[in-house]
Structure 1
Amino acid sequence: MAHTPVNHPARPIYRAIGGLTGLYLVVFGVIGFFVSSGEPFFGQGDTQALGQGTNLGFSLFSIAVGAVVLAGTAIGRNLDVLVNQWMAYLIMVVSLAGLAFVRTEANIFNVSVATVIVLMVLSMVLLMAGMYGKVGTDEENEAWQKARLVL
């Protein structure tokens, strides 16, 4: 994709930001797992972790997504770009579905409005990290520069 920056000067920072986002998801999931253990898998109660509604299912989902983001960040080689973008889309879909079902029986992840807001922010951060973390050859960088400067 010619419009995606290649070899951005701040790409190590974006990679670290993506890793920190994955780490937050894992920490939230682990805390939520311990807080919601002993309750139903998709229970709808007042269980909260870090101020966000959660249950055992959502905690395990957060651990899984965070682990995938951390693995992509550790491997690098533009795999982190792909992982960050796709996990951002997944989190965005889950948060929008959670917002649609927040006060219904279909709220299987027991999300609250605070959870939706945090998930949307995390997805935007991951999407940003995925868009600016791409590493490429000098030819790809030159093609991006030329495409960027065309009016």
Structure 2
Amino acid sequence: MAHTPINHPARPIYRAIGGLTGLYLVVFGVLGIIAGAGDEILAQDDTRVLGQGTNLGFSLLCVLLGLVVLVGTALGRNIDVAINQWLAYALMVISLAGLAFIRTDANFFNFSIFTVIVVMTAALVLLMAGMYGKVGTEDEAEAFQKARLVL
């Protein structure tokens, strides 16, 4: 049995928060595409969007990931839970890799420290939305409650 709550009373709020995070990624990505138009895809220059360093490659990735989150939120049925959790882990890896390579030539996504902070925060918000948005039958919810009370 998973250790995430089933039919949490605030799951519609968590689902909305996940959708808003996806919307933020799309808006950031579109603004980054506009700001980075004409540059190389993985340019390492001074392009900034909403105070974050970015380039065309990272902006395209943000649009793609944001659309995936929005589609998952629209579909629901625990598809959003899986998408939010997996993309949260992926964004954590991207954020930590960006932090590790921030002052090197391997900074492919042109990250700044503020970009690392925002991407890690978005990842944690998506993980939270994925953890508390799970929907199940009443029997599954009851079994979860009984197992929780035993521990």
- TM-score grouping bracket, smaller chain normalisation: over 0.9
Q: Report the counterpart of residue 3 of structure 2 in structure 1.
A: 3
Instruction: Judge conservation of contact 1:2–1:143 (CA < 8 Å) in 2.
Output: no
Q: Alignment RMSD, CA only?
A: 0.6
Write the distance in 1 (CA, Å) between the matches of 2:10 and 2:98. 33
Q: Report the counterpart of residue 28 of structure 1 in structure 2.
A: 28
Q: Report the counterpart of residue 98 of structure 1 in structure 2.
A: 98
Instruction: Judge conservation of contact 1:42–1:57 (CA < 8 Å) in 2.
Output: yes
Write the distance in 2 (CA, Å) between the matches of 1:7 and 1:121. 25
Instruction: Judge conservation of contact 1:33–1:60 (CA < 8 Å) in 2.
Output: yes
Write the distance in 1 (CA, Å) between the matches of 2:51 and 2:150. 47
Write the distance in 1 (CA, Å) between the matches of 2:62 and 2:7. 30
Tell me which stretches of 4 or more aligned residues in structure 1 moved more than 6 Å.
none
Counting only pairs closer than 5 Å after superposition, residues 86-125 of structure 1 correspond to structure 2 as 86-125=86-125
Q: Report the counterpart of residue 63 of structure 1 in structure 2.
A: 63
- Work out the number of aligned pairs and report it: 151
Q: TM-score, normalised by structure 2?
A: 0.98
Q: CA deviation at 1:2?
A: 3.4
Q: Report percent identity of matched pairs.
A: 70
Q: CA deviation at 1:138?
A: 0.7
Write the distance in 1 (CA, Å) between the matches of 2:143 and 2:2. 7
Q: What one-letter code is carried by the residue in structure 2 that aligns with 1:2?
A: A
Unaligned runs of 5+ in 1: none
Instruction: Judge conservation of contact 1:44–1:55 (CA < 8 Å) in 2.
Output: yes
Q: TM-score, normalised by structure 1?
A: 0.98
Q: Report the counterpart of residue 13 of structure 2 in structure 1.
A: 13
Instruction: Judge conservation of contact 1:32–1:49 (CA < 8 Å) in 2.
Output: yes
Write the distance in 2 (CA, Å) between the matches of 1:124 and 1:148. 24
2:82 is equivalent to residue 82 of structure 1: yes
